[in-house]
Amino acid sequence: MAADDSSFQAKPSTRNVQHVVLGNLRFQTWYQSIYPEDLVTKETDTLYVCRWCFRYACDINAHARHTKLCPHRTTPPGTKVYDHGGYSVWEVDGADYKLFGQNLSLFAKLFLDHKSVFFDVLSFLYYLLVFTDPNDVHKSYHILGFFSKEKLSWDANNLACILIFPPYQRKQLGKLLMGVSYRLSGWERDSSLIGGPERPLSEMGQKSYSRFWEERIARHLVLLDSNASATGESEDAKTQKPSTKGSRKKNSHDIMTVQEIGQATGMLTEDVIATLRALGVIEPATPSKTRKGTHSGSRENEPVPVVVKRSRVLDWAKSSNVNLRDPVRDEGFLRNYSSTGEDRNTEPLGSDDDE
Ligand SMILES: [Zn+2]
């Protein structure tokens, strides 16, 4: 689990590779990876990595020869599931692209501190974040990061591991991938699929997810009664007149349950509670405000009513300098991946062309 928003300096002694060259970018590694020692010696200063397929070489000439012939130099492997504003997400099945999955994992491990089941590529899907500059006449593409997901997760984990490569961090791209991971989990059509990232989270992962969840719930609360949902813009919500449906008299307070918020956002109850506390927008519902039939004894899955002070959400967004616009756009999802899409009639992939 890696983050999107922090710079990091690793101790040189802990790493087998000191620097990587990815495309025309050279940058420092953070952690040790498990490249085969006969191919990558322990004192490798610079490892050359193909920016399309993550094949690696210590020798710059071997690297140059490969990049001229790389089978993925024009198109990423797998199937495109999202495309908006130059950013696209490609789903790659580790069973179909085994070598790609292995090489991506080896590269990612240079920037991830703990992942033990990381190399079991057959049981994982990889979602690549790809940027294509519309003004680039060559239409060359760049892989900026990825997240992985176990094909069968008993805990409904919608994400196993996420990494935005260091040169592309601090651009809010992790939030885009996290948002895509929730959407692809399918909770909107089947609430039993509500989940979240695999635990435990690293310190950086926790920080990234905390902010992502804060914005996710804040966006939900701001848009609850407003008519601004069509655009997803929140700036006007404060001045908007209350909905004429009007059963809710006070726009700034509301009684709802943690579970309702979880259903609306696809988030686990524990994540909703932690996020509401972090936002500072809730107070426990007093007994007179709770619904009839709610007993004081807390059972699991019993709705937990809370008073949400929604006026505080906008205060939080302002003081945190947060734009509540959703980085993930509905229209970006391709046919079988829309929120209402049921079947994923993925076309059969060709035989593995990268081995
Ligand atoms: Zn390549």
Residue by residue, DSSP assigns 211-241 as: HHHHHHHHHHHHHSS-SGGGTT--TTGGGSP
- Beta-carbon-side half-sphere exposure of residue 188 (alpha carbons within 13 Å): 13
Specify whether 43 is catalytic. Answer: no
Q: Minimal CA–CA distance to 196: which of 187, 204, 188, 211?
A: 187
Burial class of residue 54, CB neighbours in 10 A (0-12, 13-18, 19+): buried
Which CATH fold topology does 2-201 show?
A: Aminopeptidase (3.40.630)
Catalytic residue of the set 198, 215, 235, 342 = 198
Cα 68 to middle of ligand 1, angstroms: 8
Residue 201 CA, ligand 1 centroid: distance in Å: 31
- In the reported structure, the alpha carbon of residue 128 is separated from the centroid of ligand 1 by a whole-number distance in angstroms of 15
284 CA distance to ligand 1 middle (Å)? 55
Instruction: Give, for all 355 residues of the chain, the pLDDT tens digit.
Output: 444 444 455 555 578 899 999 999 999 999 999 999 999 988 899 999 999 999 999 999 999 999 999 999 999 999 999 999 999 999 999 999 999 999 999 999 999 987 655 678 999 999 999 999 888 888 899 999 999 999 998 889 999 999 999 999 999 999 999 999 999 999 988 988 899 999 999 888 999 999 999 999 999 999 886 633 344 444 433 333 344 444 444 455 688 999 999 999 999 999 999 999 999 998 877 765 444 444 444 455 678 788 989 889 989 999 999 888 999 999 999 976 654 444 444 343 333 444 3
For the chain, the structural domain boundaries read: 2-201, 206-322
Question: Measured between alpha carbons, how far is 330 from 93 in angstroms, rounded to an integer?
Answer: 23
Query: What pTM value is reported for the model?
Result: 0.83
Cβ < 5 A residues, ion ligand 1: 50, 52-53, 55, 70
CB 273 within 8 A of CB 256: no
Ligand 1: centre distance to CA 285 (Å): 57
